[in-house]
Every structure is written in structure tokens, then in C-alpha cells.
Structure 1
Amino acid sequence: MTSTLPAATGVKVPAQRTAAPRTGTTNRTTPPKRLRSSRPDLILCGLLLVAILVVQGWNIADYPTLSDDEGTYLAQAWAVQEGRGLAHYTYWYDHPPFGWIQIAVLTWIPAYFAPESMTVGSMRVMMLLISAISAVLVYVLARRLSLPRWAAGLAMALFGLSPLSVVLQREIFLDNIAVMWTLLAFTLAASPSRHLWHHFGAGMAAAAAVLTKETMLLVLPAVLVTMWRHSHRDTRKFAITGAITACALLGISYPLFALLKGELLPGSGHVSLWDGIVYQMSRPGSGFILEPGTGSYGVLQSWLYYDRVLPLGGLAGALLLVLTWRWSVTARALAGPALAVAILAGMALRPGYLPAMYIIQALPFLALVLAGGTASVAHAVLRRRRRTGEGRFLTGGRYALAAVLALAAGAYVVPRWYDGDRTAMTADANAPYRAASTWLAAEVEDPEDTRVLVDDALWLDLVHQGFEPGLGVIWFYKADLDPAVTKTMPNGWRDLDYVVASPTVRRDAVDLPNVKAAMEHSTPVAVFGAGEDRIEIRQIQSAGTGGGR
């Protein structure tokens, strides 16, 4: 309640003053309540988004090399579009199907008007939409976590323009879609409005991320930490309980689906969710990531080959935020992203299976903590100048420091990123795949009565050329691992006509008896490319002796 002194008393009422912030306790830059009403934020975010889309979109079909995983996810999306079920072969609960259902939705319109465009190279374009949404969410999240505008822009640039990001975000990976949902969960959890529906929405977005790629379960504790810090004290328990409930109710739909199909638990004559989980948990390990010669070490070197700044700088930024936790508001504001980096780094250090796309899940959080660490250092230097009494030089010192930091970072980062991004925008790594597809279309006279083993990167190309899905063109793994396919091959490899020996097929044929025998009993009739990246079209010598069709 406000009281007013009468004027007749003659007592002078001092003017109200705004309390100055306590020195050394904060480095918070308060973001606008609504970013869409902040013109500088919109301009900066818009310019960076255009740059990201140009760099990621230019030459997207030709670089990097087509991946068998990309082909698998796109072929599964094609099966959904065609009403053939959840996969182009027997769906065995390798991943939740929500990921390629989203791909099916994204590619439905171009596939409807131009079915032949439903191939890995051309459909990579739809990943630009995922990258655009994720990049904007990184910027919005950075501002909601109280990073200054320049640091939010830095985080967005790190996430979208790093050569490592450019290469991996171009590819049709479930991880990229899952990251988009995870960033949405973080952004809703950090909403300054603190509406309860934001927290419920965060739980739903987190569930969508897990149903897209189940490994996103690792990051959910970081979402809860962010929600705890940004929720209102009076409604915090209710908000978090609601978010967890929403996430659990959506997440349970996957095992419920398996239960309703009678495929939750193992049994004779059917696949099961339990078997899928056991397989994923028991995959052979890649070794310790820091031990030379192991598979995990090779994966690490492939990441660092494209970019050292984001992975190593992000880890350093996370460590800096942990060390400055007690006195840095920036460190506390970025507790969620820092925890996500710590969890993902810890899992990478265990001697388990480490796929090349694993780092995709960490890219936005590495970018956020690196930008946050940079902002924390810059603020610490400026605050020290203020404490030493050099106030009249503060403005000039701030601009001088910014110039020095920009020049130092530019001298190290720009040449390396320029080389990496230029390669991504100019190199043609997929000419052998295109040549192999063209050769098969021209040289195979009767595709409807020809059986070809291929990796999934070429599977849809051959479907569009008239080869029968599943029987004429066969994903090479299924020739040994899927009973629905092997029963159509009573004579094994002799019931095949060609095998397209891509690097993936040559690598994995060692553990697949039918594929290995097909390779051993075939001769190359066309070779495209050279060295380890070559693609051989091999005609099987004893073809046509069985009645597999």
C-alpha cells in the first residue's frame, strides 16, 4: 500500500531510485518479452537463417556421399506413403516409426507429383526445412536463456554453419528431426511467460523427440533442469508433473502399439519390441573413443576432420560454465544445455557402440555452451575493467575487446570453415551412385524379372526403374536376415542376377553368407569411381538356375 505525505507538512519526499545491480553477481542480458516484436533480433536471425540455408542447400544432393541409413529411412517413408506398412520390409522395431512417418509427410507432395523424385539425393532438400526450424530455435532458446543478442547469433552460426553441421544436417537422419523436437522442448521449458501449457507442450515435444529417435532419452534430464529453473515457484511442481505425465503418456504409445499387435514380447513366428531393444543394447562395441585404432576413435577423427571448433570448443565452454557456476548467471542459465553436453559426452566415452551420426544430438548444445562461454569471458573482462576504475575507457575498451576477439576468432575459424563449407558446396561425391543407377536402367532389359542386391541408397532408384520392390530389388541385408525374403531364395545366392557392390555392401558382406557368396561368384561388368569409394555392378555367374520367383 502506498502512502502520501501531505504537502502542508513541509517534509521533502526523496525521488524514487532504481536499485543498482549488485556488482559481480550478474551478467544477465534480459531478452525482449516477445522476440517477434524485437526488430534487431528478427533482422539478425533472418540474415543468419538465409546464410545457413544457402550454405546447407547448395550442392546438397551431391555431397556428402549417400548413406545406406538415409536410403533406409526414405524407403520406409515411401512404404508409409504407398500403404505398404511401416517399412519396405518386415518392420522389426529397430526404431520407433514416428521419425519416418514425419519424413513421409514432408515428402508426400513432391512424391505425389513426381514419384521418380523420391530418391535420397533429391529428397535431401526437405532436410533444409528441419535445419531452418532448428537454427531458429537455437537463436530463440539462446535469448530465452538470457544470452546477449550477439551471443545468440554466434550460437546460431555455430550450429548452422560449422562444416560438421553442414555435412550431417544435409543427410536424411532421424537424429536431425529428433533434435528439432528437443530444441522445441527446451524453448518451451524456458518460456518467459511461464504458462502451464508451455510446460505441458515441452513434455509433448520431448516425447516426440524420443519417438523419433529413442536415444534422445539421454537429454530429457537437461530439459527438466531447464524447466525447473524457468518455472514459477508456486506452480513448479504442478508444471513439472504435468510435463512428465504428457511425455510418458505419448511415449507409452510405442509399447502399446507393439502390445496391440501381439509383438511386445518374443514369440515364434513374429518380431517383437523386446528383441529390437535387446539388439540395440547388445550391439558390438566400437571401443574407447580415445584409443587409437578403435572404431570409436575413427568416428571421433571423422568429426574432427570436418571441424574442431564446435566439438572441442563446446566441451571447453561447458567446462568453463561448470567452473564459474557459483558467480556467473550465464553459467546457471545454461545449466540445461551444459548438462546435455555432459551426458552426451559421458555416453560417448563409454566403450560401447558409437555411430557417426551420434554427435548430431550434441550440436545445438555445443553451440549454446560455446557461445555462452564466450559471452561469460567477455563479460568477466569488461567487469574487471570497471572494478579497476577505468570507467572513462569502458566504452572504447568494449569495442576494442570485441574487435580483438572477432579478429582472433576469424583468423582461426574462418579459413577452416571456408575450406570445409566450400568442399560441401562444390564436391560431387555421388557421381558413382548416379552412374550405377543409369547403367542399370539402360542395360537391364527386363527389370521385372531381374533380381539385384543393393544398399538402400539405391533401392528407391531401382524401384522407380521398374524393379519389383522386395523381390526384384533387394536390400542386401534382407537376403540373409529377413525370413520373408530368404524363403523366396530357395537356392540362396544362385537365385540372384546382380549385386551392386557399394562400399557398404563390401564392408558388411563378411557377416552375410548369401551376400558374401554372391560377391565371390560374380564378376564386375561395370565399375564407377575408384578406390574404396568405387561402386561395382557384378553379374552373378550362376544366375537363373533356381525358381526363386
Structure 2
Amino acid sequence: MAQHSRGTTVPGQSPATLPGPAAGHRLLALDIVLALLALAGGLRVLYLAAPAPALPAEAANVAHAYALGHLTPFTDAGGAGVSPFGWWQLSAYTMVTDAFGRSATALAAVRETMIVASVIGVVLLWFLARRTGLTRWASAAAALLLAASPLALGLQRLVVVEHLAVVWALGALVLLTRPGARIRHDVLAALCLLAAALTSPLALVFLPAAGWLLVRRSPVRAALVAVLLNLGLGIAFGPAADALRPHLADPGRPSVADWVALDPAWAVLSTVALVAALAVASLRPFAVTGLLLVGALLVPGVPDTAVLALLLPLTPLLLAGVVQAVTRHRAPAHRGNPRRRGGITVAALVLVAIVAAGWVYGYPALRPSTDRAGPLAGAQEWLRANASGARVLVDDAAWAELAKAGWPTGMLVAPAACAAECPPAEWAVFAGDAADLRTRYPAIDAAFDGSGPTAIFGDVTVSRLGLPPTDPTAPSESSARAHAGAALAASTRIAFAPDAAAVLRAGHVDPRLIATIAALAAFQPVRVAAFPAVPGEESAGQPRRQVLLTGGEDGVAAFYTGQRDLFRPASVTRTGGGVLVTYPLFAPPGLLVPFSSP
């Protein structure tokens, strides 16, 4: 008698070709990894933009990446660390992808590398968790923490080479935990560890974990990896030290407290997991590495941001592993007891709620910016309009942005060139507080010689260097402008818009405009629609040097184009609203001497 299979068959398909449970599990794992990739990449693109570099090391790394990719010499201001191999990696990405050509700023271009590195790190963490013995869902939870935590988003968008180093280190650990690994996998792992150490010397703390995993599997192959690694480190830190040896950046803000504020729940849970993981055999090597990194935070002179960048992917792995170990230990005792199983579920929900509560605060604190250009772009446009081709003294952040914008790098004076005496420069552009640079390079302070800001864009200050010092006994220019402006506003031959009259009476109008408007009123009635502010100059206290005149436009244009010497405008432009007259910067002193009396 024929026997019939009880299984379900598909017409035209043999039972042997039906997808089995293993294939379904692989597809589910692939779906989870793709979802994590989309989440990690999408969130990091959203939070990529920021108005300026967050720390000196980031600005220096961006500038070095641009200089290497464009074969341009550059020496940073110092204190930002050294990582030739890390800079080559950043430069290689920007050259292959044309990131500088596509991005609005040099900072955003190099931060793309951090997005790619963080996404790769999420994938490597997933594989490491699976090979460590975590379930599919525990591995997904660990990767989700790394992908979506506000702390990870804020830290991993910064251009610090430790983000590249941790990818190399995770790659080595994934190779060392590969089932059935062969010698070639161990050799690749040794090369990855070498690359991590050459990117950042802090990555050497991963060597104990790597050695522990190797000794567990094969002491002989552990010795082979140790020989290869020592040979590579000996060459890199010996004969090739000038070209390859990395150095850490100086410590500075942001500090650990600044980063922990983005996700305090993760910080607390990570501390617990680092200690508890020592009791789990499969997690012990990673817990030791994590504790070594925590110890590095206590060492004076070690930058907190660099240490946290390396610690970031370890703590989700340990936390997920500890939770899984506790759950598996208690599950047999609670089997058949719905009340106790419900207690585990409630505890899990409480844990998720604690993490989510921290994220509710952390995400708004990241403050993503819709302005992809940033204040340095405004400063660059201002310089192009007012000081094109001039020699400019710049800090590391301004060097990269001006070089990307097409400013000749030979006309950019980096702070490192001011070790003894600054080369002659007409302008200075500094992003953020320049007090540290002035302290480190006294020649920069001498170059300013009392020069005040000419234009301010956010935290970027543009200053004119080499101006003659102000005579303290000279009459106040601001008072003279106010008195002259009040007299002009009282003229019956000039009609002012209310806002324009207020600016004039407040003494915020260039003396050349006051004098020429008064002269023009002797020939024809004048209508002043506005004194438009030049972007960046108002906040620097510069008087307004533009005026929009309406009515009798032919006569207005002829009058201003016929001016000579001190009163020649920089431009006279017909617009839809009237004639826009713009004067150059810095009116000569003494034009309004009759109005200088108090």
C-alpha cells in the first residue's frame, strides 16, 4: 500500500527543496540586521549637521583629511593628537566618495566617514554578540542600543579617530570568535588589531580580550598572532615611528559628565553590566577590556571622548549578555509559575522604560541643525566679498572650510606658523574661543595688537589686522554719528522709513552715507527706504554702510557713481526696490568732526 506524506507540499516543488527552519532563521537575522542598519544610518544622517567642530581634535582631523586628499601641507595648532594612519583613512573615504565636492562644509564631508564607521560598528556588534552566545533578540537589543542611544549619536558624529579604531578592534574580535576559524582568520585578526593600535594607541586595551579568546581556542595560534602583532607594532613604533606612531589628543571638553547627561540610564546600567559580566564566562574578556577603559578615564591627560568612543560598543554587549544570563538562570525555577514569569516581564518593561525616559531628555539635547553650512560658511562668504585674495590668519577649523571654499592654501596662515613670529596677515578668522591659541602662541596675540572684531557669525569672529591704534583722545565716532544722524533725520528734504530713521538717530550709520545723503538732498528730494545691515557686521558693532534709496533713481545712481576719493562707493546697484549703495569697510576718522561735541 502506498504511504502518503503528512507534510504539506507545493505543486511543482519537491519536499526536499522546501525552505526549512534554518533558512527561515537566516532570513529573520538578515531582516534584523538590515533594520538596524537603516536605523543607525538614518539617525546619524539626521544628527550629522552641527554648527562647528565640538573639540579641537575634530577640527584638526578634518583639516588633515582635506590636506592629505589635496596634497597640501598642513600643521595643526597642537594638542589635537596625532594619527597619520587615521588621517589616511579619513582622506581615503573623502577622495573615493568625493565627499568634499558633495558636502556643504568640510566638517560635514568628513563626518560622513563617522556615519559609515558607526554603521559598520553596529553590524560587527551584532555578529560579535551572536558569536558570544547571545540569542538573536539579545543581539538585536545590544545593536539597537548602539544604533539609537542619544549618547551614541552625539559621540559618534564627532570626527575622532577612536571611532575608526574601535571598528578595527571589533573586526578582530569577530574574526577571533568565528566558529571553525583558520590560520588566515587569525592573521587577519592580527592585522585588524595592528590597524586599531596605529589609529589610536588606546586601542591596545583590546589586546587582553583578543589574547584571552585566542588562548581559549588554541594557545599555539595565540602565539602566532602575538608574534605577528609584536612585529608590526615594533616596526610602526620603531623605524616607522615618524610616519605611523599615533599620539593622544590633550584632554578637554566635552567631559564624561557632558556625555553621560545625554543618556544617564545607559551610564548607570553600563556600570552595573561591567561588573556583573565578570561572572559570565563568555563575557569575561570583554568585561576586562571595559574595566581597563574605565580605568583609563581616571588617568590624567587621557581624553574622555576618546575613551568613551572605544567603550561605547562594549557596554551594550555586556548589558544584553548579563540580562540574558540572568533570565536563563531564573527561567527554569519559574517554569510553570505564571506569576513569576510575569515578574520577569515586568522587570524587562521597567528596564525599557528607564532607558526610554533617558532618551526623552537626550534627543532634544542633541540639537540637530537644519543649517548644513554653519557660521564658517557665512564668514567665508563675507571674506570673499570684502577681502578676496588676502592673507588670512586662521585656526584649524577655519583652515579646512576656507580651503574647501577655494581660498588658496598658501594665503592661509595656520597658528603653527606663529611659533616665533606670525607671517604678515591682513585678516584673522577664528572659530570659537581663541584664548587658548593666544596663550600657546604669543605671536598671535601680538598680531592682533588690539584689533577688534569686524564681523561675527555665531561663534566665528573675523578681525582686521594691522589697523592703526585708536587715538584715546579723539572724539567719539559713535557720538558724532548720532548727532549728525539726528540733524539729517530732521531735514524736510529727506523722507525716512521709520526703521531707517531709528537706525540713523542711534548713530549706527556710516559717516560717508550721512555726508553724501545730505549732499544729495541739496540737488533733489531723497527717500531713504532702509539702511540694510551687512550680515555679521551688526553684531560686531560696525556701522551700517549700505543705503536703499527710492525715487529719482537715475539722479541717485548718477550722483553716487560720480563720487571720488573718500566718498566713492564700493558698488551702486539698481534693485527692484530702488538704488542700493554700498561703501567699503572702515570710514576714515574725522569726517563728522563738527558733530563731535557732546
Q: TM-score, normalised by structure 2?
A: 0.68
Residue 38 of structure 1: SS of its match in structure 2?
helix
Pick the aligned partner of 1:162 from 149, 162, 172: 149
- C-alpha change, 1:508 and 1:35, in structure 2 (3 Å) is farther
* 2:479 is aligned with 1:514: no
Pick the aligned partner of 1:346 from 279, 289, 295: 295
Corresponding letter in the other structure for 1:442? A
Residue 409 (structure 1) aligns with: 351
Contact 2:52 2:374 (C-alpha < 8 Å) held by counterparts: no
Q: Structure 2 CA distance, aligned partners of 1:185 and 1:504?
A: 40
Deviation at residue 65 of structure 1 after TM alignment = 4.4
- C-alpha change, 1:407 and 1:441, in structure 2 (3 Å) is farther
Pick the aligned partner of 1:528 from 457, 460, 468: 457
Corresponding letter in the other structure for 2:90? I
Q: Structure 2 CA distance, aligned partners of 1:97 and 1:510?
A: 26
Q: Which moved more, 1:129-138 or 1:241-250?
A: 241-250
Pick the aligned partner of 2:277 from 317, 321, 337: 321
- C-alpha change, 1:444 and 1:243, in structure 2 (3 Å) is same
Pick the aligned partner of 2:377 from 434, 458, 467: 434
1:21-36 matches, cutoff 5 A = none
* 2:194 is aligned with 1:204: no
Deviation at residue 166 of structure 1 after TM alignment = 0.4
* 2:277 is aligned with 1:334: no
Contact 1:69 1:456 (C-alpha < 8 Å) held by counterparts: no
Residue 179 (structure 1) aligns with: 166
Contact 1:452 1:473 (C-alpha < 8 Å) held by counterparts: yes
Corresponding letter in the other structure for 1:535? V
* 2:403 is aligned with 1:460: no
- C-alpha change, 1:125 and 1:90, in structure 2 (3 Å) is closer
Corresponding letter in the other structure for 2:228? A
Contact 2:100 2:106 (C-alpha < 8 Å) held by counterparts: no
Corresponding letter in the other structure for 1:434? A
Contact 1:111 1:117 (C-alpha < 8 Å) held by counterparts: no
Contact 2:379 2:457 (C-alpha < 8 Å) held by counterparts: yes
Q: TM-score, normalised by structure 1?
A: 0.73
Residue by residue over 1:487-536, the C-alpha shift from the partner in whole angstroms, topping out at 9 and shown as x without a partner, is xxxxx35722222232252343223202223345211011122xxxx222
1:129-528 matches, cutoff 5 A = 129-229=116-216, 231=217, 236-255=218-237, 258=240, 299-322=255-278, 325=279, 331-385=280-334, 391-393=335-337, 398=341, 400-401=342-343, 403-424=345-366, 426-427=368-369, 431-445=374-388, 447=389, 450-469=390-409, 471-476=410-415, 478-481=416-419, 492-493=421-422, 495-528=424-457
Deviation at residue 131 of structure 1 after TM alignment = 1.1
Deviation at residue 143 of structure 1 after TM alignment = 0.8
- C-alpha change, 1:194 and 1:167, in structure 2 (3 Å) is same
Q: Structure 1 CA distance, aligned partners of 2:99 and 2:353?
A: 48
Q: Structure 2 CA distance, aligned partners of 1:118 and 1:111?
A: 12
Contact 1:95 1:214 (C-alpha < 8 Å) held by counterparts: no
Residue 41 (structure 1) aligns with: 29
Contact 2:190 2:225 (C-alpha < 8 Å) held by counterparts: yes
Residue by residue over 1:286-323, the C-alpha shift from the partner in whole angstroms, topping out at 9 and shown as x without a partner, is 6xxxxxxxx68x7121121212233332121011122x
Q: Which moved more, 1:196-205 or 1:499-508?
A: 499-508
Residue 109 (structure 2) aligns with: 122
Contact 1:168 1:360 (C-alpha < 8 Å) held by counterparts: yes
Deviation at residue 226 of structure 1 after TM alignment = 2.3
- C-alpha change, 1:311 and 1:505, in structure 2 (3 Å) is same
- C-alpha change, 1:397 and 1:135, in structure 2 (3 Å) is same
Contact 2:60 2:80 (C-alpha < 8 Å) held by counterparts: no
Contact 1:139 1:153 (C-alpha < 8 Å) held by counterparts: yes
Q: Structure 2 CA distance, aligned partners of 1:249 and 1:302?
A: 39
Deviation at residue 473 of structure 1 after TM alignment = 1.5
Q: Structure 2 CA distance, aligned partners of 1:417 and 1:74?
A: 29
Contact 1:522 1:539 (C-alpha < 8 Å) held by counterparts: yes
Q: Structure 2 CA distance, aligned partners of 1:245 and 1:128?
A: 34
Deviation at residue 167 of structure 1 after TM alignment = 1.1
Q: Structure 1 CA distance, aligned partners of 2:333 and 2:228?
A: 46
Residue 313 of structure 2: SS of its match in structure 1?
helix
* 2:64 is aligned with 1:76: yes
Contact 2:76 2:396 (C-alpha < 8 Å) held by counterparts: no
Q: Which moved more, 1:350-359 or 1:134-143?
A: 350-359
Deviation at residue 252 of structure 1 after TM alignment = 3.3
1:538-549 matches, cutoff 5 A = 538-542=463-467
Contact 2:57 2:80 (C-alpha < 8 Å) held by counterparts: no
Residue by residue over 1:210-258, the C-alpha shift from the partner in whole angstroms, topping out at 9 and shown as x without a partner, is 11112211221122112223x1xxxx12211121122223333424553
Contact 1:35 1:41 (C-alpha < 8 Å) held by counterparts: no
Aligned-pair Cα RMSD in Å: 3.3
Corresponding pairs, count: 447
- C-alpha change, 1:493 and 1:540, in structure 2 (3 Å) is farther
Corresponding letter in the other structure for 2:262? Y
Corresponding letter in the other structure for 1:393? N
Q: Structure 1 CA distance, aligned partners of 2:28 and 2:344?
A: 19
Contact 1:524 1:539 (C-alpha < 8 Å) held by counterparts: yes
Q: More relative contact order in 1 or in 2 (CA 8 Å, sep 6+)?
A: 1
Identity, in percent, stands at 24
Q: Structure 2 CA distance, aligned partners of 1:376 and 1:457?
A: 47
Residue by residue over 1:127-147, the C-alpha shift from the partner in whole angstroms, topping out at 9 and shown as x without a partner, is 221111110000110110101
- C-alpha change, 1:425 and 1:522, in structure 2 (3 Å) is closer
Q: Which moved more, 1:133-142 or 1:451-460?
A: 451-460
Contact 1:96 1:254 (C-alpha < 8 Å) held by counterparts: no
- C-alpha change, 1:358 and 1:244, in structure 2 (3 Å) is same
Contact 1:225 1:335 (C-alpha < 8 Å) held by counterparts: no
Residue 179 of structure 2: SS of its match in structure 1?
coil
Residue 98 of structure 2: SS of its match in structure 1?
helix
Please list every run of 5 or more consecutive structure 2 residues that lacks an aligned counterpart in the other structure: 1-21, 469-598
Deviation at residue 111 of structure 1 after TM alignment = 3.2
Q: Structure 1 CA distance, aligned partners of 2:69 and 2:23?
A: 37
Residue 48 (structure 2) aligns with: 60
